[in-house]
Amino acid sequence: MAVDQAPPAGQPADVHAAQLAGLDALELGGSTSSGLATRVWGRVWPMLLAIAIVLAIWQAIVWSGRWPEYVFAGPAETFGKLGERLSDPEYWQAIGVTMRRAVTGFAISVLVGLVIGALVSRIKVLRAAFGSLITGLQTMPSIAWFPLAILLFGLTESAITFVVILGAAPSIANGLITGVDYTPPILLRASHVLGFRRLQLYRHVILPASLPSFLAGLKQGWAFAWRSLMAGELVVIIAHQASLGERLYYDRELADSAGLLGTMIVILVIGIGIDLLFETGDNALRRRWGLQQVRN
């Protein structure tokens, strides 16, 4: 039994140190992590498989003849058209306008969400008044805001940004509030004993502790922002300013099926790409915090 090997008390400290070091080394063991290439491939091949399946179904529907080809273009035609457009600087400008709107709208949402989240999580009265309202806002379909937005701001970019913020900020605020609420009590107790109070407690303990939940809120907020933005660009057509949503609108007007599907693919790819960025950030954080075993 381990107890029998217990060292006689009062041994010189360096013997203790050596024994502790020995135990430490035993307990830590070695860790193996697979290479980057293997991990990337592990993530990529299921995606490739999914894309292949979708393309096959798409082609099958086209071949079934349910719709004439000028209404529902096949993959080959769509990608051909998309390639053409991607070599046109004007199309890139449209993408640029949409991305600029997305980034500014999301950035403002983060600021608004942070301020609201911080206030609501800190101040009891605000919590009682606005806590459920914020959750309620999330269930509001963003398209329903547009009539009001257009009344308030006219057919301008401000109307779009307004709705993007209303879509994204509640999720971001909620992420922060949830994170604050679920700060592990043991950490709060430990911090209290260490002497952290009020603002210092908030800054050094509660805020960092709520980071994972805040990040989840950001990710969800991005999804809402992107959806609201696309709805907005379809509804609020601003003259002389091409954007992805505006492209969709005119492709439908002109019955350009291949162009429409191509733009939809661009929108999907951008959405997925940014979502992947958030997921990478989330995984990195989890690994640093030891919240999950590293996948191998």
Partner 1 sequence: MTAPLTERAARRTGGAEPAVRLDGVSKIYGQGKNGLLALDNISLAVEPGEFVSLLGASGCGKSTLLSLVAGLDRPTAGTLDTGGRKIAMMFQEPALFPWLTVAANVEMALRVQGVGKKERRERATEFLEIVHLGGFGGKRPHELSGGMRQRVSLARALAQEADVLLMDEPFGALDAMTRDLLHDELERIWQKRGLSVLFVTHNVREAVRLGDRVVLLSSRPGKVAEDFPVDIDRPRITDSPEVAELASTITDRLRKEVLRHGR
Q: Which residues bind partner 1 (CB under 8 A)?
A: 1-11, 13, 16-17, 19-21, 23-24, 27-28, 186-187, 189-196, 200, 204-205, 208-209, 211, 288-291
Select 12 or 89, whichever has its Cβ closest to partner 1.
Answer: 12
Select 32 or 64, whichever has its Cβ closest to partner 1.
Answer: 32
Q: Alpha helix locations (H) across 146-210?
A: 146-153, 157-181, 185-194, 198-201, 207-209
Closest approach of partner 1 to the CB of residue 288, in Å = 6
Q: How far is CA 92 from CA 35, 87, 247, 271, in A?
A: 36, 8, 12, 16
Select 78 or 210, whichever has its Cβ closest to partner 1.
Answer: 210
Select 28 or 151, whichever has its Cβ closest to partner 1.
Answer: 28
The residue length of the chain stands at 296
Half-sphere exposure of 92 (CA within 13 A, CB side): 6
Q: Which amino acid is at 210?
A: S
Closest approach of partner 1 to the CB of residue 87, in Å = 46
Q: How far is CA 63 from CA 59, 67, 204, in A?
A: 6, 9, 61
Closest approach of partner 1 to the CB of residue 283, in Å = 15
Closest approach of partner 1 to the CB of residue 32, in Å = 14
Closest approach of partner 1 to the CB of residue 279, in Å = 19
Select 59 or 200, whichever has its Cβ closest to partner 1.
Answer: 200
Tokens read off for 57: 């179904």
Closest approach of partner 1 to the CB of residue 121, in Å = 18
Select 89 or 195, whichever has its Cβ closest to partner 1.
Answer: 195
Closest approach of partner 1 to the CB of residue 82, in Å = 43
Half-sphere exposure of 235 (CA within 13 A, CB side): 22
For residue 284, the surrounding DSSP H or E stretch is: helix 257-289
Select 166 or 205, whichever has its Cβ closest to partner 1.
Answer: 205
Chain centre distance of CA 154: 30
Tokens read off for 20: 């502790």
Q: Which residues contact 271 (CB under 8 A, 6 or more apart)?
A: 223, 226
Tokens read off for 288: 């640093």
